[in-house]
Amino acid sequence: MSSRLRRFLVVTTLLALLLAVSGAAALAANPPKTKVSGIDIDATTIPRLQELMNSHRINSVKLTNFYLRRIRQLNPLLNAVITVSPTAHADALAADRARRNGDHRPLLGIPIIVKDNIDTTGMPTTAGSWALAGSTPDDAFIAQKLKAAGAIILGKANLSEWANFRSAPSSSGWSGIGGQTNMPYVLDRNPCGSSSGSGVVAAADLAVAAVGTETDGSIVCPSGANGDVGIKPTLGLWSRAGVVPISADQDTAGPIARNVTDAAVLLGAATGVDSHDAATAGQAGHAFTDYTQFLDANALRRARIGVWRAGTYDPALVGPVVEPILDHTIAALKAQGATVIDGTDIDLSATANELGALLCEFKSDIATYLHTYVHGTNPVSGQAYPQTLADLIAFDAAHQNLEGPWNDLIFELAEGTNGRDAGCAALRQATTTPVRAAIDQLMAANHLDAIIALTNGPAWPTNNDPNAGDLNGHFEYFVGSSTAAAVSGYADITVPAGYDEGLPIGITFIGGRWAEPKLLGLAYDYEQATQVRVPPQFIPTIGDALFPGVPNPPAQLRAQRQQATQTQRDLVVRLR
């Protein structure tokens, strides 16, 4: 490379960075409005939108165009959306015609974005990897159900590539195709994963709501980090057919929204028994198509709520940051009439087997997905799409320029197993059964309606160092409680609980199998009583005071730090 060309590239790269910084600063100073026809879309629920469309105050075309403009405006900063539907406008026109003809389906004309590991007709399903670039299977069962309820699938959300089950370390929200997703409250902070794009889509009003998927934490963590409501349903409530898997024993899709009402609407729209997913047969008698009937502003009255602390965070390191939020949550629950039993900690000792079970299950389940849904020629490689995990590893090795900077360590560990054999089944039995028993016994012994725990801690600065990744390698600062519901296959729901320096923190309500009605009532009561959520302000940075080893923000951002921090303080004052 010539020195002149090198200098040109350096200058243009710096210019691009400065333009991005200045654009982010301008966005923070003047966040884009969320009003359409005088209606604040950010603060309006799906049922209310339906009322407004029925009374001709707004229509689906205007709503869809609003979100398409938001995506064009904000996605260059957020990297939350990988694909926009080429039929979105036509779908909105069709929805408005249907309404004029008397159609009143619960999601009619409502734009929804789904994670890019859920098959959707006419749009690629890539799991963020170039290995699946251009692969366009027909609608997954849950996509069919959403469309049958009237939803417009507006696009596909970015994610941690392969649902964060490829490399170690990794950066949550990074994919080869989508790049790094940025969280909308503070742009240089990490949105958590793997449903990073879905969490950001809901928070930043890039769609009315979103769909994510979870194996362990991938719905609740991005929901908590982005100030959303997220539901990880009971395993089998939503079909997994047509969704790129990690493990059929833990995977499920679920809704992410700005409020409990919208999450409830979305949850009911996608339930149903699917002949291609045996687990859904168990929902008979336990599933509903309308969960809004369980939204009860008095659900906490006389409810018994356990509090789980031990093992969800390090009290010495992050306790001073997150415990005040947990204490405020407990006070709010008591004020609503709940009895709170502290110290009801879930025994997770059996989850030492979780990774081993997931590795062998993934090797078999990913091959099954590829064989079933992925056919033809990859336009990137010019060769047939991968059909096994070994093929995916080979693709990454041959395309490091697209799939770097991360390694394939988790892929390689999974490939080293025998897949779903007797030993794999024994690992699963040793993992799931004891955790289910621990939750069931704990709730029965204390007569609990639910157990609460912190969903997440303050979002960490995004770090794309392939030798460190998330939390800059300091995982002792991680806060999370997702594993209990994930491993057991039980339900949980996270709701905004507070902020640390403007960074959202959620509270999770955990229940037993098919506990969605109970949990939605409790979460709705808490949400309505506290009204915690404030919209994101797209602040470029607040620097870093919590995570050691992370450098100060770049020089060109330091001048903005004092103003940005004051803006966040103003938000907290407004919140209180």
Q: What is the 3-state secondary structure (H, E, C) of 143-205?
A: HHHHHHCCCEEEEEECCCHHHHCCCCCCCCCEECCCEECCCCCECCECCCCCCHHHHHHHHCC
Q: In this prediction, what percent of the chain has a pLDDT beyond 70? A: 89
Q: What pLDDT does 543 receive?
A: 72
Q: Are 152 and 95 in contact (CB under 8 A)?
A: yes
The Cα-based distances of 351 to 209, 484, 524, 544 in angstroms read: 32, 9, 30, 32
Q: Are 214 and 220 in contact (CB under 8 A)?
A: yes
Q: Are 345 and 446 in contact (CB under 8 A)?
A: no
What is the Cα–Cα distance from 180 to 158, expressed in whole angstroms? 8
What is the Cα–Cα distance from 127 to 119, expressed in whole angstroms? 10
Predicted TM-score (pTM) of this structure? 0.92
Task: Single out the residue of 364, 151, 93 nearest to residue 269, CA to CA.
Answer: 151
Q: What pLDDT does 163 receive?
A: 98
Whether the upstream peptide bond of residue 169 has omega within 30° of 0, thus cis, is: yes
What is the Cα–Cα distance from 158 to 83, expressed in whole angstroms? 9
The Cα-based distances of 86 to 68, 92, 124, 299 in angstroms read: 11, 12, 12, 43
pLDDT in tens, 136-175: 999 999 999 999 999 999 999 999 999 999 999 999 999 9
Q: Which two tokens stand for residue 313?
A: 């965070």
Task: Single out the residue of 112, 214, 124 nearest to residue 163, CA to CA.
Answer: 214
Can you tell me which residue has the tokens 């979002």?
459
Which residue numbers are catalytic? 115, 194, 218
Angle between helices 60-78 and 88-100 (to 10 degrees): 150
- Which superfamily does CATH assign the domain made up of 33-354+423-575 to? Amidase signature (AS) domain (3.90.1300.10)
- pLDDT tens digits in sequence order for the chain, 576 residues long: 333 433 433 333 334 444 445 556 666 657 789 999 999 999 999 999 999 999 999 999 999 999 999 999 999 999 999 999 999 999 999 999 999 999 999 999 999 999 999 999 999 999 999 999 999 999 999 999 999 999 999 999 999 999 999 999 999 999 999 999 999 999 999 999 999 999 999 999 999 999 999 999 999 999 999 999 999 999 999 999 999 999 999 999 999 999 999 999 999 999 999 999 999 999 999 999 999 999 999 999 999 999 999 999 999 999 999 999 999 999 999 999 999 999 999 999 999 999 999 999 999 999 999 999 999 999 999 999 999 999 999 999 999 999 989 999 999 999 999 999 999 999 999 999 999 999 999 999 999 999 999 999 999 999 888 889 999 888 999 999 999 999 999 999 999 999 998 999 999 999 999 999 999 999 999 999 999 999 999 999 987 655 544 444 333 333 443 343 344 334 333 333
What residues contact residue 575 under an 8 Å CB cut-off, 6+ apart?
498, 499, 532, 534
Domain residues of the chain, as ranges? Answer: 33-354+423-575
Q: Are 183 and 227 in contact (CB under 8 A)?
A: no
Q: What is the 3-state secondary structure (H, E, C) of 418-483?
A: CCCCHHHHHHHHHHHHHHHHHHHHHHHHCCCCEEEEECECCCCECCCCCCCCHHHHCHHHCCECCH
